[in-house]
């Protein structure tokens, strides 16, 4: 009975894996179980809850600056990823953070505006967050966790009541967290950096500002855990990756400026 249950769960995992293949904007294979409409609905609902629960800055120069940067970047989102009703909210908070949710909902915390020294740096953050939505990282994240849970469930059934084997399964659960889920998060961050760098450049923001931005972010943050236990690449890794992408991004930036895309957002 245990063996048949294990086989059934394993078969379920296999079917899910085979039927949920997708590709990110960079060409990376992805696992996506969730319907797009459901993911967008969840993003919009979460956004509305945050607007109700957290102080919102309605107007003023900080709001104008954020809106100006976002409005310059959003038209550069390729048509196949542009089907979102983009909306920007500035939250009054000391958090040095920003986010974008499925459904095209962008949030920027005023604490971030104290760290970004100019509109180019702010553009690097907003473009990075929009890139997460373009690449459907929320769907992939949820799908990866679901597949991991299903796979570990099948192994748990196989372990039965043997205490030693169950301890091994517990260790394997930690291994899955470090070996599968966290690296996927780091992959998402690195991919969003790459996509976002191109977006900000196409909008006419200087992509070289991204390197200075992440130095500022590192100075503003607490001591980071080792990279292999973190959901984000280390600052050194992130900056090295950005530098590697800069030649292409600078070319796109120069092309955008030549085409007249020169956003004038208050710094």
Residues catalogued as catalytic: 129
State whether residue 203 is helix, strand or coil.
coil
Residues in Cβ contact with 2 at an 8 Å cutoff, skipping those fewer than 6 apart: 157, 158, 160
Alpha carbons 233 and 184: distance in angstroms, whole number: 11
Q: Where does residue 135 rank: exposed (0-12), middle (13-18), buried (19+ CB within 10 A)?
A: buried
Q: SS in 3 state form for 231-260? A: CCCCHHHHHHHHHHHHHHHHHHHHHHHHCC
Q: Tell me the CA distances in angstroms from 177 to 142, 229, 239, one per residue in order.
A: 13, 9, 25
Alpha carbons 204 and 214: distance in angstroms, whole number: 19
Residues in Cβ contact with 207 at an 8 Å cutoff, skipping those fewer than 6 apart: 124, 197, 200, 201, 245, 246, 249, 250, 252, 253
Q: Tell me the CA distances in angstroms from 103 to 36, 70, 89, 138, 206, one per residue in order.
A: 9, 15, 14, 11, 27
Question: What is residue 220's DSSP assignment?
Answer: H
Contact 69, 260 (CB under 8 A): no
Alpha carbons 235 and 67: distance in angstroms, whole number: 27
């Amino acid at each position: 009975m245990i063996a048949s249950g294990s086989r059934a769960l394993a078969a379920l995992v296999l079917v899910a894996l085979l039927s949920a293949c997708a590709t990110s904007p960079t060409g990376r294979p992805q696992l996506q179980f969730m319907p797009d409409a459901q993911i967008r609905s969840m993003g919009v609902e979460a956004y509305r809850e945050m607007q109700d629960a957290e102080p919102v800055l309605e107007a003023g120069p900080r709001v104008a600056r954020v809106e100006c940067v976002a409005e310059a970047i959003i038209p550069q989102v390729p048509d196949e990823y542009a089907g979102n009703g983009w909306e920007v909210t500035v939250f009054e908070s000391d958090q040095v953070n920003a986010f974008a949710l499925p459904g095209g909902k962008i949030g920027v915390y005023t604490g971030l505006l104290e760290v970004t020294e100019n509109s180019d740096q702010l553009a690097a953050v907003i473009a990075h967050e929009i890139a997460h939505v373009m690449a459907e990282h929320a769907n992939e994240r949820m799908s990866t966790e679901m597949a991991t849970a299903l796979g570990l469930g099948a192994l748990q059934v196989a372990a039965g009541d043997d205490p030693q084997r169950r301890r091994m399964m517990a260790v394997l659960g930690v291994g899955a967290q470090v070996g599968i889920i966290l690296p996927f998060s780091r992959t998402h961050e690195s991919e969003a950096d790459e996509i976002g760098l191109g977006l900000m450049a196409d909008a006419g923001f200087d992509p070289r500002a991204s390197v200075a931005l992440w130095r500022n972010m590192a100075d503003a943050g607490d001591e980071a855990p080792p990279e292999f236990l973190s959901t984000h690449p280390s600052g050194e890794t992130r900056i090295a990756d950005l530098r590697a992408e800069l030649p292409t991004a600078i070319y796109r930036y120069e092309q955008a400026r030549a085409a007249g895309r020169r956003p004038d957002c208050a710094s």
